[in-house]
C-alpha cells in the first residue's frame, strides 16, 4: 500500500469518528489528529483495528480504531456477546465474569462491558473492584460461566490498557473461537453497540468470593510441615501498585506464613505506577525498592507481581550476599524441580503426571521431566496454549505444573491462566524448604544445574512502532527464513523449525519432520550441533520482535559454577551479536 493510499484509508476511518455516534471528547481528539500536519499520530491510531493476539486486545489508550477506548472495548464486547449468543443459543442462561486491574480507565471499561453484556441478555458477574487475573479465570469455572473478560495490559507501561477474553474452561480464547470472535467484532458498527444494560442482570462479587479463591490457592501447598517449621520466613512482597496488593498477602497468611514485609510506597494502587517507569517484575528497576527492603530487613526472599498479578518475580541472594532477580526460566525450574522432588518423596507419582512449557522456554525443563519419567508437552507462547493442553488431557492425565520464560507459572489447574497468587504461595514454600536445609533458592538452582546440566538463557527484543514498524518486523522474519544463519556461537546450524509451515528441517542431512502443533505460528527456531537454541518471533501484544537464546554447558563441580556461568554468558552475548546486527 502506497503512502497516499494509506493516508486515504486512515482519513476515511477517522472521519467516521466525527459522527454523533461518538462523544464530544473523542470527536475533538480525532479532529486534532486530522488537522495535525504530522500524520504519524493519525496513521498509528487508524491504520488497523486492534485484534486478539496471544494476550487478547491490547494497545495505547486514546481515540482511534487501533487504540484502547470505550468504542473499541464496546465493539469487542458486542462482538463477543453476539458470538456467545450464537454458540450457546440452546442455553437458558449465558453467564460471563468480568474483572479489571488498576489501570486508568479499567473500571470504566469493565462497567461499560457489563452493561453491554446485560443488554444482550447475558448474566454478568462483575468484581466490586480490581482483582487478579487468576481470580477471574477461577471465577469462570467456579460460577459456570461461558466466558469472561478482564481489562488489563499486564506489565505494559501506563499508556496501555487491554482486554483479555476467556472461554468456559477459564482459559484465554484459542482457535477456532478467537478468529470467529474477531470476525464478529469487525462486523460491529458503533451504532449497533447496546450500551444500556439491565442492572438486575449484574451481580457484584466481593470478599465472600475472594475467600473461595484463597481456599483453593492454599491447596497448592505440598508439604505443610515445612511451612509450619519455617512460618517466620521473612518474605518481602510488592504488588507494584497492582491487584496483588491484598490477595497475595492474605493467601500467604492463610497458608501459614507470618512474616510478610510490605513495600508501602508500592502498595499504593495506581494506574500511573508512580515508583516505576514500567511495572514489570522482569526489570531490575521495578524490583529495586523491594530488594532494598530485603537488604534492610535481612529477608529470605523477595516476591513481586505485575499489575494484574499473573506474573511472579522472585529475588534471592547469591553466595556473596547480593540480591538478584531469578529469571523466568530459573523460576520455572525451581517450581518443577520442587514439585517433582516432593511428589517422589511422598510417593505421589502415579505415572500419569505431566508438565507443560512453551517452545521458547528452557529445554532444561524437558530434561528434568525426561530423567524423572514424567511426560512433558511443548506449546506456543501464551498461557492459553498451556491451558489448551490441560483441557485436552483433562480426566486422563494429571497436570502438576507448567510455565514460560516470561515469569508465568501455573501450579494447579483450578485456574487456567498463569497464576502469580498461587505461585507466590508455592514459591514461599520452596524458600521455606530450602531454609529448612540451611540453603537458599540460589543454592537450589546450583543443585539443579549440577544434577541436570547447566543452561543460560537471555531474551532481547527490538521495538518497531506503528504501521512502518510492523512492516520492518515482517521483513526481518522474511530475511531469517530465506537466509538462516549457517553457524552461531562457533557451532554449525543443524535444525531449523518453522512454525509457519510446521516443518522441522535438518540442514546437515536434508531430512524433514512434521512439527506436532495444531495450528501454525510466525515463529522460527534454530538449533546448533552443540545444543544452542534460538527462537525468533514477533510479539503478539507489543510492537516488538523477540530473540530467545539458550546455550548449554556441563557443570561437573559446584565450585565451577561461576566459571561456567561466565563462559555461557559470553557465548550468549556472542550469539546475540551474530543475530542482531
Catalytic positions, please?
154
Contact 520, 502 (CB under 8 A): yes
Chain-centroid distance of CA 192 in Å reads 32
Specify whether the backbone of 346 is left (phi greater than 0), alpha (psi in -120 to 50) or beta.
alpha
Q: CA–CA separation, 320 vs 318, rounded Å?
A: 5
Question: E strand or H helix at 462, and its extent?
Answer: strand 454-463
DSSP 8-state secondary structure symbol assigned to residue 439: -
Residue with cell 496513521: 43
Number of H helices, E strands in the chain: 18, 23
Residue of 182, 159, 151 lying closest to 44 (CA atoms): 159
Residue of 167, 258, 244 lying closest to 213 (CA atoms): 244
Ordered strands of the 202-205 beta sheet? 57-60, 160-167, 147-151, 95-100, 123-127, 202-205
**Strand, coil or helix: what is 197?**
coil
Contact 342, 304 (CB under 8 A): no
Contact 369, 349 (CB under 8 A): no
Residue of 240, 88, 30 lying closest to 154 (CA atoms): 240
Angle between helices 244-255 and 207-218 (to 10 degrees): 50
Ordered strands of the 398-404 beta sheet? 375-379, 353-358, 398-404, 408-410
Q: CA–CA separation, 131 vs 213, rounded Å?
A: 11
Residue with cell 472495548: 73
Residue of 177, 196, 175 lying closest to 185 (CA atoms): 177
What nine digits make up the cell of 135?
481470580
Amino acid at each position: 500500500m502506497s503512502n497516499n493510499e494509506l493516508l486515504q484509508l486512515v482519513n476515511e476511518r477517522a472521519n467516521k469518528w466525527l459522527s454523533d455516534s461518538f462523544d464530544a471528547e473523542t470527536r475533538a481528539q480525532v479532529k486534532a489528529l486530522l488537522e495535525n500536519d504530522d500524520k504519524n499520530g493519525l496513521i498509528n491510531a487508524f491504520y488497523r483495528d486492534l485484534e486478539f493476539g496471544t494476550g487478547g486486545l491490547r494497545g495505547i489508550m486514546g481515540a482511534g480504531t487501533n487504540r484502547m477506548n470505550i468504542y473499541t472495548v464496546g465493539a469487542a464486547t458486542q462482538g463477543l456477546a453476539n458470538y456467545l449468543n450464537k454458540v450457546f443459543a440452546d442455553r437458558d442462561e449465558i453467564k460471563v465474569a468480568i474483572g479489571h486491574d488498576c489501570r486508568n480507565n479499567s473500571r470504566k471499561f469493565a462497567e461499560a462491558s457489563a452493561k453491554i453484556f446485560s443488554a444482550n441478555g447475558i448474566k454478568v458477574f462483575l468484581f466490586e473492584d480490581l482483582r487478579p487475573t487468576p481470580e477471574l479465570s477461577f471465577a469462570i469455572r467456579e460460577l459456570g460461566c461461558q466466558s469472561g473478560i478482564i481489562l488489563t495490559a499486564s506489565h505494559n507501561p501506563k499508556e496501555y490498557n487491554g482486554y483479555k477474553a476467556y472461554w468456559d474452561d477459564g482459559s484465554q480464547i484459542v482457535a477456532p473461537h478467537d478468529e470467529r470472535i474477531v470476525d464478529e467484532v469487525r462486523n460491529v458498527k458503533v451504532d449497533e453497540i447496546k450500551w444500556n444494560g439491565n442492572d438486575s442482570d449484574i451481580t457484584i462479587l466481593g470478599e465472600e468470593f475472594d475467600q473461595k479463591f484463597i481456599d483453593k490457592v492454599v491447596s497448592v501447598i505440598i508439604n505443610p510441615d515445612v511451612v509450619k517449621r519455617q512460618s517466620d520466613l521473612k518474605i518481602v512482597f510488592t504488588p507494584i501498585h497492582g491487584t496483588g496488593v491484598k490477595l497475595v498477602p492474605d493467601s500467604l497468611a492463610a497458608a501459614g506464613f507470618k512474616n510478610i514485609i510490605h513495600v508501602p510506597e508500592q502498595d499504593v494502587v495506581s494506574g500511573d505506577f508512580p515508583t516505576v517507569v514500567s511495572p514489570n517484575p522482569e526489570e531490575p528497576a521495578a524490583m529495586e525498592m523491594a530488594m532494598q527492603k530485603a537488604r534492610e530487613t535481612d529477608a529470605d526472599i523477595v516476591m513481586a507481581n505485575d499489575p494484574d498479578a499473573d506474573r511472579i518475580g522472585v529475588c534471592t541472594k547469591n553466595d556473596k550476599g547480593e540480591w538478584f532477580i531469578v529469571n523466568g526460566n530459573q523460576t520455572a525450574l525451581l517450581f518443577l524441580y520442587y514439585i517433582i522432588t516432593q511428589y517422589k518423596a511422598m510417593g505421589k507419582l502415579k505415572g500419569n503426571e505431566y508438565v507443560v512449557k512453551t517452545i521458547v522456554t528452557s529445554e532444561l525443563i524437558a530434561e528434568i521431566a525426561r530423567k524423572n519419567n514424567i511426560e512433558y508437552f511443548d506449546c506456543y507462547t501464551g498461557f492459553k496454549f498451556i491451558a489448551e493442553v490441560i483441557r485436552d488431557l483433562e480426566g486422563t492425565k494429571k497436570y502438576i505444573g507448567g510455565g514460560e520464560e516470561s515469569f508465568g507459572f501455573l501450579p494447579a489447574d483450578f485456574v487456567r491462566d498463569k497464576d502469580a497468587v498461587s505461585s507466590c504461595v508455592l514459591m514461599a514454600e520452596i524458600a521455606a524448604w530450602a531454609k529448612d536445609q540451611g540453603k537458599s533458592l540460589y543454592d537450589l538452582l546450583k543443585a539443579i544445574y549440577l544434577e541436570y546440566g547447566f543452561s543460560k538463557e537471555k531474551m532481547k527484543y527490538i521495538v518497531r512502532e506503528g504501521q512502518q514498524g510492523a512492516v520492518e518486523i515482517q521483513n526481518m522474519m522474511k530475511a531469517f527464513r530465506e537466509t538462516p544463519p549457517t553457524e552461531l556461537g562457533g557451532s554449525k546450524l543443524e535444525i531449523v523449525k518453522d512454525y509457519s509451515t510446521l516443518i522441522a528441517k535438518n540442514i546437515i542431512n536434508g531430512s524433514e519432520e512434521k512439527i506436532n502443533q495444531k495450528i501454525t505460528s510466525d515463529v522460527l527456531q534454530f538449533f546448533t550441533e552443540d545444543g544452542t537454541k534460538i527462537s525468533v518471533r514477533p510479539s503478539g501484544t507489543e510492537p516488538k520482535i523477540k530473540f530467545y537464546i539458550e546455550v548449554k554447558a556441563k557443570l561437573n563441580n559446584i565450585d565451577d559454577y561461576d566459571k561456567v556461568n561466565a563462559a555461557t554468558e559470553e557465548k550468549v552475548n556472542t550469539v546475540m551479536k551474530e543475530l542482531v546486527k
